[in-house]
Structure 1
Amino acid sequence: MSVTNALAIDCEMVESYNKSLLARVSIVNQHGSTILDEYVKPSSTVTDYRFLVNKKWNIDNGQDFSYVKNKVANLLQGRILVGHSIHFDLEVLQLSHPESKRRDLAKYNRLQKNGQPVALKTLAKNYLGRDIQESAEHDSVEDAKACMDIYLKLAHEWEYNF
């Protein structure tokens, strides 16, 4: 489980009175290996478990937010961050990451349709021939791996144009 120059991230969130809270964060390396997969204990009352209702136990018994936030911050330091709509992940983690080090599939022109983001599920099907998000519950590891694989398919072109 080596930390590579590029890491892909995906977060799952729950809701507390119309505010998103981090429930799970997953990070994979360029080889598709999971280097972080943590459930996070809610910092306030959960009013909607969204897709994670079957993971309530994992969330309620998860790590403290500050511990996970620091772990993620240390991993991302100086690395390329790959994801889909990364700003939501960074926002719920209360972290920033330089734009020059972000590779956001939702913002990359080649992956958009009519200037609009395309769902990760659709991108995975179109670029990888892979079906993801098939169940009612999303899997942040599966989504992070799909993001990394799509990025790697386009990395040469992406980095050249960057």
Structure 2
Amino acid sequence: MATTTPTTSAAKMRTLGPGVLKSTDSTLERDFSADVTKVMLNPSNSSDDPVNFLDGSQEINVTSTWNLEATVMDDYTVGGINNWCMANAGKKVRMQFVPTKETGAMAYEFDATIQPIGIGGDVKAKNTQDISWPVSNLQSVPNNTIN
């Protein structure tokens, strides 16, 4: 009996980058791509205790919330990312995340609520700060639909 190995029509894309992370909000437009050294959309999943019914059935409420998590390099200039986050904290902006610009890859559009990030760190070092912004309205789209 012969065995066959399944084949796929397209190669899998497993490397993050080069890609894009940017705000597309017309009043808060900003491209974070050159500041980001790590980025991910991270789910947090939770479920309530099951509700048991007399007929033996059971209902469980499962929810997922998302965060944009990233590591960025400090930029101490007037328009740098640290000051931009501080000045716009609490604002909700429409964003795009393109993990790779490869043809056929997926991209993601979502609303993120900007939170301030740290400023500074070790002396004579290129310091990084972590971003953790709540995300809503997350949608996956083919990357050829991204501006």
Fold equivalence (TM over 0.5): no
Instruction: Give the structure-1-normalised TM-score.
Output: 0.22
**Greater Cα radius of gyration, structure 1 or 2:** 2
TM-score normalised by length of structure 2: 0.24
Higher strand fraction: Structure 1 or Structure 2?
2
More helix by share: 1
